[in-house]
Chain A
Amino acid sequence: MKKQVLALALAGVMAAGLAGCGGSSTSSTAASGSTKEASSTAGGSGKSLRLVNGKIEVDAQLKELAAKYKEETGVDVQIESMGGGVDIQGTLKGYYQADNMPDIFVNGGATDFANWEGKLADMSDQAWVKDTDAAYTDADGKVIGFPYTTEAIGLAYNADVLEKAGVDPKSITGPDSMKKAFETIDAKKDELGLTAVIGYCAEATNLYWSTGNHLFGVYEDGGLKRDDSTYYDMLSKDGSIDKDRFGKFADMVALFNQYSDPAILVSGTYDQQILNFASGKYAFVTQGSWIGATMTSDDKEAYDAAGDFKVGMVPYAFEEGQDTILTNSPSWWAVFQNDNTEEAKKFLQWCSEDKGQDILVNKAGFVSPFKSCTYVASDPFAQTITDYTKAEKTSSWHWLGNKEGLAQNALGVVFQDFAAGNIPDAETFASTIEQVSKQYYAS
């Protein structure tokens, strides 16, 4: 009898343990669904949204935006920032599996949007749609992506240095004039206080996106009209490269290799690259307009010390006469279909209006894609983008639609190899890129 009592007691303990596990698991699943309730008691109004942001450099500014929105409507918006090489789509898929999807999240382009087919809210009826040309529309004509900024890819330069060196940025119209400008600056390197002519970094582990996406994107779209996707279509078909065009592009990359700061060329980091440019140590840098935000926030001290020099962009003119920079919305915010969809749409609408734009443009330095917006960002590159846009000297970019992982798993390393000298010349570089890209599209 005693034994039986003991057994029963033990069974009871075990059952309690089980109940404990069960209980905790229920509460944790409930937690993701009911963050609404939890935070509403704190906030007071009863709504909470979660936004996954892909631009970690504006994390603080977006939190400010969220605070402002909470102040006005009582709706709590949680900003979850990812970036700097984090695979956002992969993380989101994990969230999806765990039933922990954010209400608004970032999507980079066709491949990203295709992942969520049928799961995103249709925003065609929203007021902001009429106010912009940059909304993301799916194949059926439904608006599923909210544009929040405009970015540009071009060869960024330090205007003060160029002026001192006596190089007119407008004179750079093709490979020969670019080479000449580099040579001129290189000769005066010491008196200008430069470490190198150009800050080009081809490191493949963390910076594959700079070379494999952005620079390669210049090959795809540089100098073309906005609706021209010849080379992107060619690539999408089976990974083919136009030999003639890429050959010239490869020559430009070779030029960058030659004149880049050797300290960052093969094993540098984004931080070093931007810090050095902001400190006035390079005349050019191979990054796009987004570095403006880094220069005026993280690298503010160095940038101030270097005299807050003017910046600008010249086209990556690897063929004579290419006079456009690449601009596009780098990514879009999509709304996941769930109970919070309506709230999320309201938030985005608010973002497109005056108060939202005030923070997004004036604080986060976004170049507004909305026509009604009157703010001009204080971002160093905002004026450049506006100028090129007004002169209609912009190309679109299509690299967002490249096969997923192309830069990370294939192209980035080839750029690094070329920079490190493992690939001897531009021709081999071009043929290797073609081989690798074909192989990647085939697998």
Chain B
Amino acid sequence: MKANTVASKALSIAVMAASLILLFAALALDFTGSGFKGRGALLVVGMIGFFVGLYLFPTPKNHRKIVYIIFLFPLLFTFAVTVIIPLVLGIGYSFTDWTGVAITKNVGLANYSTMFHDPAFLYSILITFIFVVLNMVLINLVGFLLALLCTSAIKATGFFRAAYFLPNLIGGIVLGYIWQFVFNNVLTKMTNTSASILSQSKPALIAIVVVYLWQYGGYIMLIYITGLTQIPGDVLEAAAIDGANARQTLFQIKIPMIASTITICTFLTLTSAFKQFDVNMSLTNGAGSVPNFMGSYLSNGTQMLALNIYNTAIAKNSYAVGQAKAVLFFIILAVVSLIQVRVSNSKEVEL
């Protein structure tokens, strides 16, 4: 029995060692730029072999833990590759003069100081917050009202649900271009003006809000419909028997009953409005003039945070500053989301 354990332990370690050698050989081949075609297979075989060896390791006490690790690995690995590593790399890049192709030196906090001295960026932050607040309120309001409409006793609710939801199926970029056409060609013809509302900052911002509302309202409506239809019938019936009118039912029964849905929806609208990029880019690409903001004339009157970051990196070719802005963006998003979830959660407990 003892000999058996030793043998299987040796086998396990041998398999793991051999696999690791394969794994590192594959990585070494890759980094040295070898053209050997089998290196991918080598890598995968090495990876799998390592876990087989680990699984065979004779330890009754920790066997379960090993199995957990093996099963968790794919997810953790993907998460690390797509989220954690880029995040760390990105923070690293923000302290250098990265151009997207090469890094020549470390610049410390210079990128951060540049971005806070840039009125255009501060303006972007400002309008992003305005946009987020407007959107959060409007989308939830409209979504909820549409949901009430679509759960009421009117005819053809199925049709209306589909119709309101449909804009969400069109991608943001396409939507932006469609609406750009509407604002620039259709609306100008109808009102008989030459300049479209997209050529001025404030109306253009409202246009973005409207388009985004049009796109996202139906989606939020769908979530509210799910919430509303899940309210137990007996509660509503009890309310009706107690003589509650429609308004009382709405405010005293329905809204409290779907508090968790409201949490989800505010959270969804908040974060998605913050990340707004595609409609913004295709509709105005950030263009718009602001005659005087902190003493300077700005030409990015409708440029929201995400687009500003993109333009800094791509159009202005300063990847490092863009990266620094992205780090700030990450922090803002993380803080706002955490606060929002906390506030909503505490409210739910009260109810």
Identify the A interface with B (CB < 8 A): 7-8, 10-11, 14-15, 17-19, 21-23, 25-27, 29-30, 33, 87, 89-90, 93, 96-97, 111, 115-117, 119, 203-206, 208, 262-263, 265-269, 403-405, 408-414, 416-417, 420-422, 432, 435-436, 439, 443
- Looking at B44-52, B241-249, B262-270, B337-345, the stretch in contact with chain A turns out to be B44-52
- Looking at B136-144, B165-173, B194-202, B224-232, the stretch in contact with chain A turns out to be B194-202
* Chain A residue nearest to B308 in the complex (CB): A409
Q: Determine whether the beta carbon of B40 is less than 8 Å from that of A404.
A: no
Q: Determine whether the beta carbon of A23 is less than 8 Å from that of B317.
A: no
* Chain A residue nearest to B177 in the complex (CB): A206
The CA of A18 and the CA of B50, in the complex, are separated in Å by: 13
Identify the B interface with A (CB < 8 A): 35, 37, 39-41, 43-44, 47-48, 51-52, 55, 67, 70-71, 74, 99-102, 114, 117-118, 120, 180, 183-185, 188, 194-196, 198-200, 283-289, 291, 296-297, 299-301, 311, 313-317
* Chain A residue nearest to B282 in the complex (CB): A205
Which residues of chain B come closer than 8 Å to A412, judged between CB atoms? 287, 299
Q: Determine whether the beta carbon of B180 is less than 8 Å from that of A205.
A: yes
Q: Determine whether the beta carbon of A22 is less than 8 Å from that of B317.
A: no
* Chain B residue nearest to A264 in the complex (CB): B194
Which residues of chain A come closer than 8 Å to B199, judged between CB atoms? 203-204, 266-267, 416, 420
Q: Evaluate whether A26 and B316 lie within 8 angstroms (CB atoms) in the complex, with A266-B199, A420-B200 already known.
A: no
Which residues of chain A come closer than 8 Å to B48, judged between CB atoms? 15, 18-19
* Chain B residue nearest to A431 in the complex (CB): B297
* Among all A-B residue pairs, the 10 with the closest Cβ atoms: A26-B40, A413-B299, A22-B44, A90-B314, A262-B194, A266-B195, A405-B315, A267-B196, A204-B287, A404-B317
Q: Determine whether the beta carbon of A25 is less than 8 Å from that of B180.
A: no
Which residues of chain A come closer than 8 Å to B316, judged between CB atoms? 403-405, 409
Q: Closest CB-CB distance, B30 to chain A, in whole Å? A: 9
The CA of A7 and the CA of B66, in the complex, are separated in Å by: 12
Q: Closest CB-CB distance, A201 to chain B, in whole Å? A: 11
Q: Closest CB-CB distance, A342 to chain B, in whole Å? A: 17
Which residues of chain A come closer than 8 Å to B102, judged between CB atoms? 117
Which residues of chain B come closer than 8 Å to A29, judged between CB atoms? 40
Q: Determine whether the beta carbon of A26 is less than 8 Å from that of B101.
A: no
The CA of A18 and the CA of B72, in the complex, are separated in Å by: 12
Which residues of chain A come closer than 8 Å to B37, judged between CB atoms? 30
Please tell me which one of the listed residues A15, A26, A206, A266 contacts residue B41 in the complex, with CB atoms under 8 A apart.
Answer: A26
Please tell me which one of the listed residues B47, B55, B285, B301 contacts residue A206 in the complex, with CB atoms under 8 A apart.
Answer: B285
Which residues of chain B come closer than 8 Å to A203, judged between CB atoms? 199
The CA of A308 and the CA of B48, in the complex, are separated in Å by: 69
Q: Determine whether the beta carbon of B40 is less than 8 Å from that of A409.
A: no
Q: Closest CB-CB distance, B145 to chain A, in whole Å? A: 32
* Chain B residue nearest to A29 in the complex (CB): B40
Which residues of chain B come closer than 8 Å to A416, judged between CB atoms? 199, 287, 289
